[in-house]
Amino acid sequence: MDQMDQTYYQTVDKMEKASVDKEYMNGWMCGYLRNPKREEQRLTDAYNAGYDDGTNRNTDNMSKWAK
């Protein structure tokens, strides 16, 4: 497994253990993998924040979305 994959899986594991909002996690994963965003009617604040952070490979804001 290359470094990018390790970072992805470690971050997802960390978010799951911290009970991070599922919408934020879904957005982060989609952004990290450079997937297209959801349809506009299905976007949420948490998803958009996660998508932006994932696209930027940023994990600094995930604690804000932990329950």
- Residues 30-64: pLDDT tens digits? 999 999 999 999 999 999 999 999 999 999 999 99
33: alpha, beta or left? (left if phi > 0; alpha if psi -120 to 50): alpha
Do 67 and 46 meet the contact criterion of CB atoms below 8 Å apart?
Answer: no
Residue 64 lies inside a defined structural domain of this protein: no
Question: How many domains in the chain?
Answer: 1
Collapsing DSSP to helix, strand or coil, 53 comes out as: helix
Residue 51 lies inside a defined structural domain of this protein: yes
Residue 62 lies inside a defined structural domain of this protein: no
Strand partners, 20: 66
Residue 45 lies inside a defined structural domain of this protein: yes
- Residues 12-35: pLDDT tens digits? 999 999 999 999 999 999 999 999
pLDDT (0 to 100) of residue 3: 60
